[in-house]
Amino acid sequence: MDMLQLREKEVFDTLKKIKNCKFVLIGGYAVNAYTLPRFSVDCDIVIEDALQLLPIEKELIKIRYVKEDTNKINLPYHEEFRRYEKEIAKNFKVSADVMIKYVSDRNTHALFTAEWAFKNSALRLLNGKTIAEKLKLRIINLDALIVMKFVSCRSTDIRDIFMILPQASNSRWIKEEISKRCNFKDRFEKVKNKIISKQFKDNLQGVYGKIDKKVFEKHEKALMKMAKSS
């Protein structure tokens, strides 16, 4: 088993340990519930209050995770969160990030409440990329995940947006939720400019594997269609 498989297996094993706790899975691993699975370096969850952290932390420590000093870590999150790390091989770690009450983007300071995340989530199957595993968890809904990734708008988020956008069920709602937190037009232009760049398709395939030309064009059209929705 290579290191990427080892990391993914550890994340799945960790989620199995805490699956009866109350949380919503967000971030890169949530994307795997909706499209071709991709690798993610960490596992992101959101909880409603600090009390819900206690059983999660207990299980993580039991399986040898260590709580990190979040003041010394440069993460894309703002507000209150906890990071737990486990070394699974020499200089190779798995991390679990727990957002408490809010998910807040460090760059824009845009807020998503835990209440919003729970309201816009449901029990779904999480699929592995390198391991033949499926796990039923509470996962953020696809439309809400698109909103969160549009607001954050890092390179990894834009690749994810491109892959999951054709499945969006309510483009109008997505635009409204983005606009509550930042300038939709600015965010859309950033996503569009990234997608039409020469290197985007190669970078995308480096993460998700080979993508057929017709499929790629279908996803491009989905992005442009969303901009026109009202």
Pairing of strands 77-78, 102-105: antiparallel
**Of residues 112, 117, 123, the one with CA closest to residue 151:** 112
Considering only residues 31 and 89, tell me which one the structure prediction assigns the higher pLDDT. 31
> What mean pLDDT do residues 23-32 have?
93
Q: Is the pLDDT of residue 140 over 80?
A: yes
Span 60-84, average pLDDT: 79
What pLDDT does residue 78 have? Answer: 52
Q: What is the Cα–Cα distance from 204 to 9, expressed in whole angstroms?
A: 23
**Pairing between strand 102-105 and 111-113?**
antiparallel
224 DSSP β-pair partners:
none
Average pLDDT over residues 127-131: 84
1-15, 71-85, 119-133, 197-211, range with the lowest pLDDT: 71-85
DSSP label at residue 34: T
Contacts 24+ apart (CB under 8 A), 204-208: 204/159, 204/162, 204/163, 207/38, 207/39, 207/159, 208/35, 208/36, 208/38, 208/159, 208/163
Tokens standing for 100?
């408490």
User: In this structure, what DSSP letter does residue 1 have?
Assistant: -
| Average confidence (pLDDT) over 206-210 | 86
Averaged pLDDT, 70-93: 76
Integer angstrom CA distances of residue 168 from 1, 139, 145, 185, 226: 35, 15, 10, 18, 9
Nearest residue to 30 (alpha-carbon basis) of 17, 42, 14: 42
